[in-house]
Structure formats: structure tokens, C-alpha cells
Amino acid sequence: MSKTWFAYVASFFVLIAAVLVGVTVGSVSIPVQVLWNPDMDEAASNILWNIRMPRVVLAGLVGASLAIAGAAFQGLLKNPLADPYTLGVSSGASVGAVVTLFFGISVPFLGLFTLPVFSMIGAFLTMVTVMSFAKLIDRAMKMETIILTGIIFSSFLGSVISLMISLSGEELRQIIGWLLGSVSMRGWPYVTMALPFMTIGFLLLWLNRRELNALVFGEERAMHLGVNVKRRKMMILTGGSILTGAAVAVSGTIGFVGLVVPHMTRMMWGSDHRHVLPLSFINGASLLIICDLVSRTIISPSELPIGVITAFIGAPVFAFIFWKQRRKVGA
């Protein structure tokens, strides 16, 4: 078996194991047989299919979306520290979602999709602004410049959110719940709301997997290889923003998934984007399902926000990658 096939088999095995553990372990233990024999225990079947399964599926979709968006941003910017969280894209998506909740915006022809659409618009505008500002400061767009620009915009957008929270009344609890990052008490409607956008975002990035490989060697060389750089960059940025916006719309801000998963995938299985993108997608889903399981069982019957668990994992990895990059530059 080749290394690539082994990577897919191992990743799918971990994902299936994570889903099975996610739906059966909790304050009420559910026998795994209930999955294919719901008549065995109707109460357990109700908990599994109406509470745990939508939660696990949503956690998987959010983790997969953030991971593949992070992999695409890292490939496009040739920067291992780029991800929706560090670039400020998650904060932009959060502002879009919070504005929708704060003003009670509902666009008739969008209906249920009003929130994710506004979240995506916020994500995309932030991404474009961060990249434009970074290029204005440093035309070479060094790693530190992009990350610092992302931090600046994250801080600014965070203050905008804080202002809206201080001005809000009844919406306060809903907004704060959103910002903590959670997939708790989200049913099948949230999965239905996010899935179409996540599918579009995934396809946009998947269609540009070969172009990402070419862009790694620089824009000029990619142009010589026949890549329409401007168009492809816009498609990748749009795909990443759609995925981030959809994820934030249903789960709030969850950091570091888009940083940790692509980095580990490249370390273990190589840097070919034809495989990095789908493997990041699968492993991102597994990671967030496991993090969600830990968040709801570690201090049971209370729950931790899922963002706390991802930050515990992500912050040391972020520090390690930054240290490794600085050593490489200094060598």
C-alpha cells in the first residue's frame, strides 16, 4: 500500500472512530448497536439521532471547513502560520454574524441563509482588507507582516463586537454564546444551513488544488506554467472565506483548527495540495469531533466552550511553528 493510500485509510479510520465515540459517549452512555437497531432502546435512539448525531456532524463539518480553508490560505500565502483565525478572517465572519443578530437582519429571499451569507461577506471583506493592507506596508508580504496585520484587524473587529455587546439588550446572551465557540444544542437545521455553503467552498478549493501547487513556487513561475494567477487567487480566497463564514455562522469563533491540522498533515503525508486539501478536510473533522467530546465530558455535567480545547492544542503548535520558521530564517 502506498503512503498516500495509507494516509486516506488511516484518516478515515480515525474519523469513523471519532464519530462512533462522539455519539455513544456522554452523560448517558449509548450502546453502539442503537445506530443500526433503533428499536433496541427508543429513548437512547432519540438522544443519539436528535441530539448527539447532529452535534457530531456539525462539529465535523466545522472542523473540516476550517482545516481546508487554513490549508488553502497557507498554500496561497506560502505561510505556515496563516489560518482563518490568525489572519482575522474568523473575526470578520464573527462581525458579520453579530451584526445580523444585533440588528435582527432577515433578508426575505435568503431566509434561513441570511446569517451565513452575512458572515461570509464579513470574512471575505476582512481577508481582502488584510491582504491589501499587508501589501501596502510590505510589498514582499513577509510572514510577520501578514500575521501582524491579521492581529491588528482581529483586535479592531473584536472591539467592534465588544461595542455591540455593550449596546445590546436581549441579544446579549445569544451574541456571547456565539463568540465562545460551540456546537452545543445545534440541531439538524444548522447542518442544513451550513452544508450547501461548505460544499461550494470545498469545491472552489478542490478545483484549484493543482494551481495551489504551482503558486507555491511564486506567482511569476505559476504564470509561466499557464495559471491565471489573479483569477485563481480570487477563487481560493472566496472559497476559504465561504468556508470560514459558514463555520463561524453555525459555531462561533473556534481558533487554531486551520493552523494545526494542515501543518500536521504536511508533516506526516507531504505537501502536495491534491492530497493536503482532502486529508486536512477529513482530519479537521476528526479533531473537532474529539475536541467537542472532551469539552462536554471533561467537567460533566457542565460544558467548556470548544474554543478553549482547540486553543490548548493550537497555541503551543503556533509557538512551535513560529520558532521553527525563525530558526530556518536565521540559519
pLDDT score, position 331: 55
Q: Which three cell numbers stand for residue 168?
A: 445590546
Residue 17 domain-assigned? no
Cα separation, 131 vs 120, in Å, equals 17
Cα 247 to Cα 198, 234, 241: the distances in Å are 8, 20, 10
Distance of CA 247 to the CA centre of its chain: 6
Rounded to the nearest angstrom, the gap between the alpha carbon of residue 300 and the centroid of all alpha carbons in its chain is 26
146 belongs to a structural domain = yes
CB atoms within 10 A of CB 50: 12
Asked if the structure places residue 220 within a domain, the reply is yes
Exposed, middle or buried, 220 (CB in 10 Å: 0-12/13-18/19+)?
A: exposed
C-alpha cell at 52: 448527539
Q: What is the Cα–Cα distance from 82 to 73, expressed in whole angstroms?
A: 6
261 within a domain of the structure (yes/no): yes
- Crossing angle of helices 229-251 and 89-103, rounded to 10°: 50
In this structure, is residue 21 part of a structural domain?
no
Whether residue 90 is contained in a domain is answered as yes
Per-residue pLDDT of the chain (331 residues; tens, 9 = 90+): 588 899 999 999 999 999 999 999 988 888 889 888 888 888 889 999 999 999 999 999 999 999 999 999 999 888 887 888 888 889 999 899 888 888 888 888 888 788 888 998 999 999 889 988 988 888 777 767 888 898 899 999 989 988 888 887 666 666 776 677 888 878 899 999 899 999 999 999 999 999 999 988 888 888 888 888 888 988 998 899 899 999 988 998 888 899 889 988 998 888 899 999 999 999 999 999 999 999 999 887 888 888 889 988 888 888 888 787 777 766 5
pTM above 0.75, yes or no: yes
Q: How much is the pLDDT for 327?
A: 75
Q: How do the residues of the chain divide into helix, strand and coil, expressed in percent and rounded to 5? A: 80, 0, 20
Give residue 177's domain range.
56-326
Q: Count how many domains the chain has.
A: 1
Distance separating alpha carbons of residues 286 and 267, to the nearest angstrom: 17
- Specify the pLDDT at position 81: 79
Question: Are the C-beta atoms of 167 and 290 separated by less than 8 Å?
Answer: no
Domain-located, residue 40: no
Cα separation, 290 vs 281, in Å, equals 15
Specify the residue for cell string 450502546: 31
Kindly tell me the number of DSSP H helices and DSSP E strands found in the chain: 14, 0
Please enumerate in sequence order all residues whose Cβ is within 8 A of that of 205, keeping only pairs 6 or more positions apart, or say none.
68, 69, 72, 236, 239, 240, 243, 277
DSSP character string of 99-121: HHHHHT---TTTGGGHHHHHHHH
> Quick check: is 143 in a domain?
yes
CATH number of the domain at 121, please: 1.10.3470.10
- Determine the Cα–Cα distance for residues 157 and 216; give it in Å rounded to an integer: 30
